[in-house]
Structures are given as C-alpha cells and as structure tokens.
Amino acid sequence: MPAQDIPPVSETASLRTLARLTFACFVGMLAVGLPLPVMGLYVSHDLGFNPSIAGASVGIQFLATVLTRGYAGRMADTLGGRPTVYRGIAGCALSGLLYMLASQLPLHEVGKLAVLGLGRLAVGFGESLLITGTLAWGLGLLGAQRSAKIMAWVGMAIYGALAIGAPIGLWLQEHGGFLSMGAVVFVLPGIAFLLINGIPSSVPRGGERRSFVSVVGRIWQHGVGLALQGIGFAVLGTFVSLYFDSRNWEGAGLALTCFGLTFATVRGVFSSFPDRFGPKRVAMVALLVEAAGLLVIYSASTATMALVGASITGMGSSLVFPSLGILVIRRVEPQVRATALGAYSAFQDIALGVTGPIIGLAIAGFGYSIAFLVAMLSALCGFVVVWKIRATT
C-alpha cells in the first residue's frame, strides 16, 4: 500500500503543525498525569479505604482506556481526528470537574468514592480518544510517510506529561488539597483546546470499514510484540523502588528519571531511524537493547549499575512503538488506520494492567530481582514475535 497517499507538505509546515498537535496532546495528558500519584493517597488517607480500594481507584482508568480503544479508532476513521480529540479533551475536563465535586459534595465516603470512580472512567475515556485522535489527525494532515515522526512525537508528549504531571499533582495536593488538583485538571483541557484551534481538519477516508475484530486479526502480532516490550516498563515503574529498598540502595527515584531521559532523547534524536533503516529491523534491535538493559538491572550489584540498566532499558523501549506502528499502518487500508492504531495500543494497555499482579506472584516466591528477569525474557520473546512478522505487507 503506498505510503504517500496525500499531497506532500513542506517539512517546515509539517513540523509546525505536528508541534502544535503534540504540545496540545501533552497539555491534555497532564490531566491524566496529575492525579496518578494523588488518587491512591486521597482514597487511602482522606477517605479511609484500604490499599486494594486505593489501587482500584487508579486502575479503573486502565479499564476505561482499553474498552474504548476500538470506539476511539472507529470515530477517528469515520469523523476525523479533530472531533475525536475534542471529545477526548471533554472527557479529561469532565474528570477534573468530578474530582472537585467528590471533594466538596456533602457525601459519605462511599459516595465520594463513587464520584471519583466516575472521574477515573471519564479520564480513561478521554485519554483513549485524545491519543488516538491526535495520531489520526497527524496522519491525515501530514501523511503516512511521516508516521514514524508523528508517533515518536506523540509518544514523547504522553510520557513527558506523565513524568512531569506526577510531581505537579503531589505539589498541588500538598499545598492546595485535592480540590486544587481537580481544578487544574479541569482547566488544562481548555488550554489544549485553544492550542489546536485553527489547525485544519483532516478528511476521513472513504471505503469499506472493517470490524474491530477483523482489524485486530490483521495486527495482533504487532500488538503482542508491543505488549511484550511494555512489560519492561511496567516492571520498572511498579517494582524498581521496592527492588532498591530490598537491596538497601539509595536513589530509587532516579531509576525512572534515567529511563525517561534516555527514552525521550532517543525518541527525539533517532525518530527517523524506522524510516531510514526499516521499522522491523529497528524494532528487533530495540527489543534486544531493552533486554540487555533489564539484564543489567537483574544482575546489578550496585545502585549505579541498576541505574545504568534503567537508562539502557529506556533506550531500547523508545523506538518499539513507532517502529511496529509503521508496520501496522502498512498492514491496513487508510480508512481503518486509526482503528488499527487503537487496537495496537490496547495491547500495551493490557500489558501495563496485568503485569503488576502477575509478576507480584513471582516476586512472592523468588524476590524482587525475578521481575526484571521475567521482563528481559519477555523482551526476547518480543524479538521472536517481531522477527516472524512479514516486513512488507
């Protein structure tokens, strides 16, 4: 299927448009990142629920995101990226409003928890549409020939917002309480709306619309490869602090910082590699690099060695999503690209959601280091899965 399916756009103009789209996505995703470290604390300390309920208050967002990926993709394919992003922004703003209501309404703790749950569902819905819509909008305006750059930039916006949003959310909670955090979450999507105002709409493609199940059947290998890569990030984010603590090491917080810095640097500097050297080849090399980084963490004898491993893991993780995403785009017709990307992303959502509980069972029997061994083996399995994908479709 030809990649250049729209009239070429100058590189300067395309970068300017992509910068606006991704910055708006970044601002919108801050509404997702701010509450993440705050929600569990609020549910546990302020409302008095046990840790399992506090964890569920965070994880219910994942459920909403996974369940709406197909809906988001079909909307972007049939209506275009702009209305999909607008509805995603509205969902994120609604979550902020519900957070504020939960903190102020004269309800019993269970009632407040129910309102918070609605807010978490709203932000999961909003995140799904915001990300899928942004990708579809960028592809519709700039063309599939720039798909690697589009996915790399959007990925940086997402991870950057989650990384920066967490400490901002904690600061707001500490200085202004849960209400102030909710208010900022409510305002941020409005800023994102202003940023994208004036960007031209992309015209949806005509043609036969395949069912979501049919699309999944065509890209499941790519999704499985992505999910196996995502296990490394899930393990690092969930267990690295406990791993450091079990070894009596200092600097656990730096592990995610090292991961994030190398992840963002590689995404920004080497975003053209999938197009230059082939997306399948880049994905395979990236998975091997990720596996090497996880092996370094697993075998680390010092905190410094573990931090080096986290940095290498970030380097490897960075280019898997855009590389396999290019293959997904080539695998399906233009009129179902957003649906395919939504289905593809759902595999990573599932991996991030199930890794913690499953790996936790292994940790109970073998200690925290086993988590990084399992993640390394998962990345190697991902290499095999990607190797079996046809390079051209």
Question: Which pLDDT score, from 0 to 100, does residue 392 have?
Answer: 46
pTM of the predicted model over 0.75:
yes
Q: Residues 161-164: contacts with CB within 8 Å, 24+ apart? A: 161/25, 161/26, 161/27, 161/28, 161/29, 161/30, 161/32, 161/33, 162/29, 162/32, 162/33, 162/36, 163/33, 163/256, 163/260, 164/30, 164/33
Note the pLDDT tens digit of each residue in 251-291.
Answer: 776 787 788 788 888 887 888 888 889 899 999 999 999 99
Same domain, 273 and 368: yes
Q: What is the pLDDT of residue 179?
A: 93
Residue 304 included in any domain: yes
**Is residue 86 in a domain?**
yes
Q: Are 131 and 20 found together in one domain?
A: yes
Torsion of CA 223, 339, 4, 130, to 10 degrees: -100
**296 and 332: one domain?**
yes
Of 166, 196, 226, the last residue of a domain is 196
Token digits of residue 67: 């369940």
**Do residues 283 and 320 make contact, with C-beta atoms less than 8 angstroms apart?**
yes
Within a domain: residue 2? no
- What pLDDT score does 33 carry? 83
Do residues 229 and 347 both lie within one domain?
yes
Q: Quick check: is 5 in a domain? A: no
Is residue 251 located within the same domain as residue 325? yes
Residue 164, number of CB atoms within 10 A of its CB: 16
Same domain, 184 and 222: no
| Nearest CA-CA partner of 122 in 73, 197, 185 | 185
Any domain includes 132: yes
Phi, psi of 34 (to 5 degrees): -55, -45
Rounded Cα distance between 106 and 357, Å, is 35
pLDDT of residue 123: 93
Is residue 393 assigned to a domain?
A: no
Domain boundary residue among 156, 172, 196?
196
Which contacts of 249-254 are long-range, i.e. CB under 8 A and separated by 24 or more positions?
249/302, 249/303, 249/306, 250/303, 251/303, 251/307, 254/307
CA distance 87 to 71: 12
Total domains in the chain come to 2
Same domain, 138 and 273: no
Same domain, residue pair 241 and 336: yes
Q: Name the token pair of 168.
A: 């901002």
Per-residue pLDDT at 379: 96
pLDDT in tens, the chain (393 residues): 333 444 445 667 777 888 899 999 999 999 988 887 788 778 877 888 776 677 677 767 878 888 888 888 889 888 888 999 999 999 999 999 999 999 888 888 889 989 999 999 999 999 999 999 998 898 888 877 777 788 888 888 887 787 778 778 888 988 899 999 999 999 999 999 999 888 887 766 655 666 777 888 888 999 999 999 989 888 887 777 778 888 888 877 678 778 878 888 888 788 888 888 989 999 999 999 999 999 999 999 999 999 999 999 999 998 998 899 889 888 888 778 888 888 888 888 788 777 777 887 788 788 888 989 999 999 999 999 999 987 544
In a domain? residue 332: yes
In a domain, 206, yes or no: no
**219 and 359 share one domain:** yes
Q: Which of 164, 196, 228 is the last residue of a domain?
A: 196
Phi, psi at 298, each rounded to 5°: -60, -40
**Which pLDDT tens digit goes with each residue over 320-330?**
988 998 898 88
Find the domain containing 86 and state its range. Answer: 11-196
Residues 222 and 191 in one domain: no
CATH of the domain at 168: 1.20.1250.20
Q: Are residues 229 and 266 in the same domain?
A: yes
Q: In angstroms, what CA-CA distances link 7 with 73, 138, 208, 339?
A: 23, 14, 22, 23
* Whether residues 74 and 117 fall in one domain: yes
